């Protein structure tokens, strides 16, 4: 497997575009994105666990109930959530695009991201669909990635190439996510395309399994969004024998999917609102995977620990504190903690107690942009990873006047 260029357009038969249509006031910001497959593709998706769900999620879930889709339309700047006419607007977006592309409205995935509780005007979308379709290009993945951004500071995209059944397959993904990020479908939109031939059932199985160790293991601020969705389209144009059961080919597909998803997870966590550092908590030696995940999530979600990382303060007691209230079945007296970055590794806790270390070396390690928190539980052989970011002054500034 190797990383390639192209994002969501890397796979055969996919084109994309992104334009400014007028939903966002800033004309320099693209606010409408499109991903299109030349042929109808198998489709799978996972959605937020929040009881409050954006109207686009309801519409998309209905549209891909048959396991098929051909296009994805997404706007930024408005979430189309908690609106009396939200379903109507989402369905109209699909109908407008379907008419312009000459596809079925039920084969359109629709997504929205932005402010909650404000009506989404249709006029900009009605006028924007034609130029959006006209802009479709095999090199349009970058524009689509920009079109789904809200408070994101960087575009998030990746593509990989791998082999299944003697055929070269490709998979690409784009994502948005910066704030309102928390495990159990962390707040984000992720769109993945692949030319692999795989049944809708196996595609859904692959996605549902992988998010348990990827998108459900990131947190920026403890808030689970209303519009989270991860969608995968697989058009089969690589020509491999269709994957219909578990086995070697399915395993290869899972490796590719995991590679794409882990990369996007790290991008989302590192681009958290106001963040200056990517935090990765790696747990090993836990009794089982469940407990390993509980420990990793609790550390990443601790506001006190996140604040310490912003200040490059090796306050390891906050790691143990987070583990202690996590609910994990763990013996605190066996816990080891270390911090690692490009500047080296530093042991700060052994068997639940502090060890002497150089504060100067700790500061040097923790001033880096990517920090690993290494936790050894000493209770078994299970491991897990979680991703997050530091908590900064700018997070409050960004969210203090996000709507206005």
Residue 108 shares a structural domain with residue 234: yes
Nearest to 195 by CA among 15, 340, 386: 15
* Residue 246, phi-psi category: left (phi > 0), alpha (psi -120 to 50), beta (remainder): beta
Residue 128 vs residues 23, 74, 91, 150, 313: alpha-carbon distances, Å: 10, 12, 16, 18, 49
**Tokens, residue 398:** 């960004």
Give every CB contact of residue 13 below 8 A, 6+ residues apart in sequence: 37, 38, 39, 195, 235, 237
For tokens 């519009």, the residue is: 227
Residue 134 shares a structural domain with residue 158: yes
Q: In the listed set 241, 270, 299, which residue is the last one of a domain according to the structure?
A: 270
Q: In the listed set 243, 270, 297, which residue is the last one of a domain according to the structure?
A: 270
pLDDT of residue 223: 60
CA dist 220 and 369 (Å) reads 15
CA dist 357 and 325 (Å) reads 26
Residue 142 shares a structural domain with residue 162: yes
Q: Is the dihedral of CA 189, 121, 86, 234 positive or negative?
A: negative
* pTM for the model: 0.88
Q: Give strand pairing partners of 68.
A: 42
Residue 290 shares a structural domain with residue 145: no
Dmax (CA) for the chain in angstroms is: 68
Q: Which domain holds residue 369?
A: 278-400
Kind and range of the H or E element at 72?
A: strand 68-78
Residue 217 shares a structural domain with residue 292: no
Residue 240 shares a structural domain with residue 300: no
| pLDDT per 10-residue tile (average), the chain, 404 residues | 96 98 89 98 91 91 97 95 94 98 98 91 96 98 93 89 97 82 65 98 97 87 72 98 98 98 91 86 97 96 93 96 96 97 98 96 97 96 94 82 67
Residue 30 shares a structural domain with residue 144: yes
Rg (CA), the chain: 22
Q: Check which CATH number belongs to the domain holding 89 and give it.
A: 3.60.70.12
Residue 146 shares a structural domain with residue 100: yes
Give every CB contact of residue 404 below 8 A, 6+ residues apart in sequence: none
Residues in the chain: 404
**Tokens, residue 142:** 């970058």
Residue 260 shares a structural domain with residue 289: no
Q: Which residues are catalytic?
A: 187
Q: Check which CATH number belongs to the domain holding 387 and give it.
A: 3.10.20.340
Burial pattern 76-87, b for ≥16 Cβ within 10 A else e, equals bbbbbbebeebe
For tokens 């150089």, the residue is: 358
CA dist 22 and 213 (Å) reads 37
For tokens 């939200």, the residue is: 86
Residue 283 shares a structural domain with residue 252: no
Instruction: Work out how many domains the chain is built from and give that number.
Output: 2
pLDDT of residue 49: 79
For tokens 């959006």, the residue is: 132
Residue 232 shares a structural domain with residue 283: no
pLDDT of residue 84: 93
Residue 351 shares a structural domain with residue 377: yes
**Apex CA 34: angle with CA 32 and CA 38, to 5°?**
165
**Apex CA 304: angle with CA 299 and CA 310, to 5°?**
95
Q: In the listed set 270, 295, 311, which residue is the last one of a domain according to the structure?
A: 270
């Amino acid at each position: 497997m190797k990383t390639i260029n192209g994002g969501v357009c890397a796979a055969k038969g996919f084109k994309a575009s992104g334009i400014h249509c007028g939903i966002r006031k800033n004309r320099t910001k693209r606010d409408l994105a499109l991903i299109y497959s030349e042929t109808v593709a198998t489709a799978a998706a996972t959605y937020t666990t929040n009881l409050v769900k954006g109207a686009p999620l309801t519409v998309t879930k209905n549209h891909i109930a048959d396991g098929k889709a051909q296009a994805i339309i997404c706007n930024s700047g408005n979430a189309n959530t908690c609106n009396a006419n939200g379903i109507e607007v989402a369905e109209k977006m699909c109908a407008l695009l379907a008419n312009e592309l000459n596809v079925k409205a039920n084969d359109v995935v629709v997504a929205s991201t932005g402010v909650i509780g404000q009506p989404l005007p249709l006029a900009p979308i009605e006028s924007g669909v034609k130029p959006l379709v006209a802009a479709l290009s095999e090199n349009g993945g970058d524009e689509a990635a920009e079109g789904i951004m809200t408070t994101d500071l960087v575009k998030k995209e990746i593509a990989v190439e791998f082999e299944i059944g003697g055929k070269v397959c490709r998979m690409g993904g784009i994502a948005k996510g910066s704030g309102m990020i928390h495990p159990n479908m962390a707040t984000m939109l992720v769109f993945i395309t692949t030319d692999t031939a795989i049944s809708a059932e196996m595609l859904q199985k692959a996605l549902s399994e992988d998010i348990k160790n990827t998108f459900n293991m990131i947190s920026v601020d403890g808030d689970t969004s209303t519009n989270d969705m991860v969608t995968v389209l697989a058009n089969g144009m690589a020509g491999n024998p269709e994957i219909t059961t578990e086995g070697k080919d399915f395993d290869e597909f899972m490796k590719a999917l995991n590679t794409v998803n882990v990369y996007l997870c790290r991008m989302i966590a590192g681009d958290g609102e106001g963040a200056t550092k990517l935090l990765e908590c790696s747990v090993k030696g836990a009794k089982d995977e469940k407990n390993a995940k509980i420990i990793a999530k609790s550390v990443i979600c601790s506001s006190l620990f996140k604040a310490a990382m912003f200040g490059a303060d090796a306050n390891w007691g906050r790691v143990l504190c987070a583990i202690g209230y996590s609910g994990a079945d763990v013996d605190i007296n066996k816990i080891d903690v270390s911090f690692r970055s490009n500047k080296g590794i530093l042991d700060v806790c052994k068997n639940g107690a502090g060890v002497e270390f150089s504060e100067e070396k700790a500061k040097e390690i923790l001033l880096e942009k990517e920090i690993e928190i290494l936790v050894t539980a000493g209770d078994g052989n299970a491991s897990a990873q979680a991703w997050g970011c530091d908590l900064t002054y700018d997070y409050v500034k960004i969210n203090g006047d996000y709507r206005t």
